[in-house]
Amino acid sequence: MKPDPFRHHPNLRDRITPPERSFFRDFGPEKARAAMARHGVGDGFPFHTDAEREALRAEALSGHAGDLWIFAYGSLIWDPALDFAEVRRARAAGHARQMILVDTYGGRGTAERPGLMAALDDGPGCDGLVFRIAAEKVEGETAILFQREMIGPGYLARFVPVVIDGREHRALTFLADHDDPLMRPDITREEQVRYLSTGEGFLGTSADYLRNVVAHLHEMAIPDANLDALLAETEAEIARIG
C-alpha cells in the first residue's frame, strides 16, 4: 500500500480537489480558445505553441532528477490537478503573493476595464503548499501543469528555495515575468483597487477572484494579511461606486 499523500496534514484531505475531479486536469490552449470564442473575447491572446511550451518545460527541468516538489501559492493550493505523492506546508522566503497580473483579454477584465490576478513576485516571504510528484510521474504531471500555467506569457518556471518543516528544499514554481507588459510589479494600490472593483470577464469579476483566493487561504490556514487588506479596500470601493 502506498503512503497516504495527506499523512502530514490530514485536515487538508477534503480541502484539495482530487485530480480526477479537477477542471484543470485536461485544461490547455484548445479548451481556453473554445471558452474565449464562446464569449467573443480573447482576440490576440498570445498562446504559446505546443513546441514553445515543451521547450520551456524542458528548460525548467533541465538537470533535475528524482521526485519533484511544486510550490503552490494561488489556485494550485486547493486545485492542483496533479497526482501527487505528498503535500506539505512550505514557505518561500524572498517572495510574496502579489496582485499584479493585469487581465485585458476577457477572463476577469477587458481592455476598457482591466482585471487583476495573482503572481509570485519579490517580497518578505510567501506561505503556501508544496506537492511532491514521484519521479516516475514527473514527465506526465509536469506536462499537465505546464498546459495550465504556461498557456501563454506572463510567468517564468523556476526553482526556488522553500522551507518544509524547518528544512530547505528546492521547488518548481511560476514567478512573475517582469518582461511581460501585462505583469505590473509597479502597479499602485489605487490601480489595484480600481481594477479589482471594476474588472469583469467571462470567468467572473476580479473582485470574486480575490474573494475566492482569500477565502481559500483562510480555509487552508494560510492567511495573507496583504490580500486581506486589499480585499477590504476593494469591498469599500465597490460599496462606494454602487
**So which residues are the catalytic ones?**
149
Polymer length of the chain: 242
Alpha-carbon span 26 to 81, nearest angstrom:
9
Q: How far apart are CA 216 and CA 210, in angstroms?
A: 10
H runs (alpha helix) in 96-202: 138-149, 189-198
Residue with cell 515543451: 54
Residue with cell 487588506: 229
User: How far from 228 is each of 9, 47, 200, CA to CA, in Å?
Assistant: 24, 32, 20
